[in-house]
A and B are shown apart, each in its own frame.
Chain A
Amino acid sequence: MKFRSWKNVIREGVKNTGRNRVMSMASIGAIMAALFVLGVIIATIINLNNAVAELESKVEITIYMAKEASEEDIKEAKSKLNSWEGILEAKFIDKDQALEDWRKEMGDKSYLLEGYTSENNPLPDTFLIRVENPQYVEDLVNKAKTLASVEEVRYSSDVVNSISGIARAVRFVGMAIVILLSIMSIIIISNAIKMSVHSRRREINIMKYIGATNWYIRWPFLIEGLILGMIGAILAGAATAGVYSLLLKKAQEPDNFLSIFGLLPLENIVYPILSLYLIIGCIIGALASGLSMRKYLNV
């Protein structure tokens, strides 16, 4: 098609969108709802994945030695830990050091710990182990339990597993909702386009007699669908950004429950989501108008 024809079909597409105001608004609302839900899901998943990655990167195994552990036991544990594969760093914190650290941490409330000396220190000797890679954790934990005089072995993978599980569930349920809402918005938009085509059937009929190509007739309606999809996407993007920045603000208040989540900054969320919105909005709009026009073009 020539440039001036593109001008014509775009002008007609814009006119169509304005002409069926109610249907246009319903379509934009439907697409917006579908995309907004998608955005909520994506924002949740991105944040959960981030939390998982962060936790995994600092997977630590903490080995608490028993009170009665001898110098020999600790020496042996040290040398064994240094020989095992997958350990980035094995840091030994003796109980006196731990007590000292605790005192420092307490600051001006350190008087609370005054009664404790190296004689009655309640803290155990501890090994803090940083692991090269999360896959070693399980094996190392099992081996650590076999060391002599070990009281307890703790690690953070339980948390990682449960967060991953939540992310999986969110992805699964969320995708089902998004697909449902997308289908709904396709139906609503294709109805809007059908009405638009119907209200212009005389014009289409005349165009066919004069010798307009099918694409010349089709383009204004495709453009109408694209416009609806794009407006819906932009509004959904604005809504997502608004809600997310509100959450970020809340999360900064110290006593708000949201503050326990390390939320990612706005730009990490909004730019990927907005571009996705635009792509999906356009696809839904074009698909819906394409579907609704097939039978009207046979003159």
Chain B
Amino acid sequence: MIKMTKVTKAYGNLKAIKDVDLTINNGEFVFIVGPSGAGKSTFIKLLLKEIEPSSGKININGLELTEMKRRDIPYYRRNIGVVFQDFRLLPDKTVFDNVAFAMEIVEASGREIRRQVPAVLAMVGLASKARAYPHELAGGEQQRVSLARALVNNPSLLIADEPTGNLDPVTAREIMKIINLVNYRGTTVIMATHAREIVNAMKKRVITFRKGSVVADRAKGEYFGEV
């Protein structure tokens, strides 16, 4: 469970996040929507402990994020899968190695890697492209690799920052299917997005940010307001 209590993040005089209180339960699927500069990125960075809140508390599954020691951050992040709009694959590694890389970092054995990587590639529908390099893949395929990398260590939380931002609507829908499947299997999903059609089609909880505050939080909500 993610619980934010009176969280504010200020950069100088500018408050990127203002007095945010919210709770996200394990297994939930949550869209974070709002215009650019509303605080979505700051919200995600706070969850990843990339930045510290100026005030307030963030508690994740009983762990107080503001009290976590620096050296514990890597181990905390191993429970979180992250997907970005720009995929962030390593160009000189094959699809297989891009995914295996995430397991090497957490010191998995060669046997675990050889078992787990093909399984997760099959789940995202890329079993046949394991030996390809990122530049040989279409955008949607690259995002699947990125998803596979985020999921290969079985995170309990998946954070997706505009995962469909660079994709056409058909490809975007396929990515959403995979993310939905991941959520169905029990992983909490938090997805920041501008994609109105996707949000409206999925019928999930929608949290709307504007100027750093939560202005709407609805179960089975819809995207509303100007983009």
Binding site for B on A (CB under 8 A): 1-2, 4-5, 8, 202-203, 205-214, 216, 299
Pick the contact of A216: B77, B88, B105 (CB < 8 A). Answer: B105
**B75: nearest chain-A partner, CB-CB:** A211
B105 contacts which chain A residues (CB < 8 A)?
207, 210-212, 216
Bound Cα distance A234, B77 (Å) = 42
* B61 contact set on A, CB distance < 8 A: none
Contact between B106 and A211, CB atoms less than 8 A apart: yes
Contacts of B168 in A (CB 8 A): none
**In the assembly, what is the distance between CA of A205 and CA of B48, in Å?**
13
B107 engages A206 (CB within 8 Å):
no
Interchain CB contact (< 8 A) of A1 among B76, B88, B107: B107
B125 proximal to A (CB < 8 A): no
Interface size on B, residues (CB 8 A): 22
A4-B109, A299-B50 known; A210 vs B102 contact (CB < 8 Å): yes
Q: A209, B107: Cβ atoms under 8 Å?
A: no
Instruction: Look across to chain B and name the residue whose beta carbon is closest to the beta carbon of A203.
Output: B90
- Whether A209 contacts B77 by the Cβ 8 Å rule is yes
> Which of chain A's residues have a CB closer than 8 A to the CB of B82?
209-210
Closest to A216 in B: B105
Closest CB of chain B to A147's CB: distance in Å?
80
Smallest distance from the beta carbon of B117 to chain A beta carbons, Å?
14
Q: B90 is contacted by which of A2, A206, A212 (Cβ under 8 Å)?
A: A206
Q: Are B48 and A209 in contact (CB under 8 A)?
A: yes
The verdict on B78 contacting chain A, using a C-beta distance below 8 Å, is yes
Bound CA–CA A213/B102 (angstroms) = 12
* 20 pairs, A vs B, C-beta closer than 8 Å: A1-B107, A2-B107, A4-B109, A202-B88, A206-B90, A208-B74, A208-B77, A210-B82, A210-B101, A210-B105, A210-B149, A211-B74, A211-B78, A211-B80, A211-B105, A211-B153, A212-B74, A212-B105, A212-B106, A216-B105
Please tell me if the beta carbons of B90 and A214 are within 8 angstroms of each other in the complex. Answer: no
Say yes or no for B104: interface residue by CB 8 A criterion: yes
Q: Which of A4, A202, A210, A211 gathers most chain B CB within 10 Å?
A: A210
B76-133, CB < 8 A from A: 76-78, 80, 82, 88, 90, 101-102, 104-107, 109-110
Chain B 142-173 interface 0/1 with A at a Cβ cutoff of 8 Å (1 = within) = 00000001000100000000000000000000
A207 to B90, CA, bound (A): 11
Least CB distance, B106 to chain A, in whole angstroms: 6
Please give, as numbers and ranges, the residues of chain A lying within 8 Å of B74 by CB-CB distance.
208, 211-214
Select one of A1, A5, A202, A210 contacting B78, CB under 8 A.
Answer: A210
